[in-house]
């Protein structure tokens, strides 16, 4: 009897694990890059977006952030988000200075319209800090990224859990890639990242969410299996 119960519980738990899901969300082609001076790039269909400072214009702040809208679908494999990653393809790195400049990933606002606003350029909670060193400075032991390479960054999954808990399924979340520690009048370091309009689909920005059923749900499934075994035992 005990062996039957244990076997049933093990089977249910294995089935629950199998219910875990990975949701892959490709960025909206309304993605854009935004100037810190307060304007959005006019070419929304560009295959490349810049993160960092592209020009040396004295007295003018031209730091660029790349803002990507992602449509949050319903969670199909469970309500608990156990992980989140962002994959982007770095096409090339432009380096003219030795400033210590890194890229941060921010989780911004949610809404029903995928249009990027100028205010999105540095707005949101930090989901991943200093994920890559854009500049030539090797002080932290992190080299600039290899070019023509797909990178996957681990994000703070609690941010996305909170979004879903607040009823944001079906809405759009804006994820921002921005430079950190840039002196806008002296630095000229930036990454070119392939956008949601890039002709190579596999290189477009992708947000991945990993979910499992809530622990309480798994417990209820196990209890149900135990009851089923006991009923079957009594009937036999």
pLDDT 10s digits, 115-147: 999 999 999 999 999 888 777 644 444 456 777
17 pLDDT more than 70: no
% of the chain residues with pLDDT over 70? 69
Strands 48-52 and 39-40: unpaired
pLDDT in tens, 4-15: 544 544 454 454
pLDDT in tens, 184-211: 556 778 889 999 999 999 999 999 999 9
- In 42-162 the beta strands, taken as DSSP E runs, fall at 48-52, 64-71, 80-95, 102-111, 125-133, 149-154
Residue with tokens 């622990």: 215
The pLDDT value recorded for residue 161 is: 97
Burial degree of 113 (CB within 10 A; 0-12, 13-18, 19+): exposed
Angle at 42 between CA 168 and CA 69, to 5 degrees: 15
Residue 147 and residue 89: Cα distance in Å, rounded?
8
What lies within 8 Å, CB to CB, of 22 at 6+ separation is: 77, 208, 209, 210, 211
Angle at 68 between CA 125 and CA 175, to 5 degrees: 10
The pLDDT value recorded for residue 158 is: 97
173 versus 222: the higher-pLDDT residue is 173
Residue 190 and residue 148: Cα distance in Å, rounded?
14
């Amino acid at each position: 009897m005990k062996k039957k119960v244990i076997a049933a519980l093990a089977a249910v738990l294995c089935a629950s694990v199998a219910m875990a899901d990975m949701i892959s969300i490709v960025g909206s082609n309304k993605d854009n890059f935004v100037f810190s001076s307060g304007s959005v790039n006019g070419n929304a269909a560009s295959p490349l977006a810049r993160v960092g400072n592209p020009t040396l214009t004295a007295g003018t702040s031209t730091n660029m952030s790349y803002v990507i809208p992602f449509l949050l679908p319903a969670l199909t494999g469970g309500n608990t988000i156990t992980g989140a990653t962002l994959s982007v393809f770095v096409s090339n790195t432009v380096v003219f200075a030795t400033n210590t400049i890194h890229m941060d990933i921010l989780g911004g606002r949610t809404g029903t319209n995928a249009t990027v606003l100028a205010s999105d350029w540095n707005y949101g909670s930090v989901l991943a800090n200093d994920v890559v060193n854009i500049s030539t400075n090797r002080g932290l032991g992190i080299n600039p990224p290899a070019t023509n390479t797909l990178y996957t960054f681990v994000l703070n999954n609690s941010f996305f859990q909170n979004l879903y808990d607040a009823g944001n399924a079906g809405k759009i979340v804006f994820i921002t890639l921005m430079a950190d520690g840039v002196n806008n009048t002296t630095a000229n370091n930036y990454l070119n990242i392939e956008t949601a309009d890039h002709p190579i689909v596999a290189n477009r920005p992708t947000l991945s969410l990993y979910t499992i059923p809530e622990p309480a749900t798994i417990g209820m499934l196990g209890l149900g299996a135990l009851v089923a075994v006991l009923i079957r035992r009594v009937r036999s």
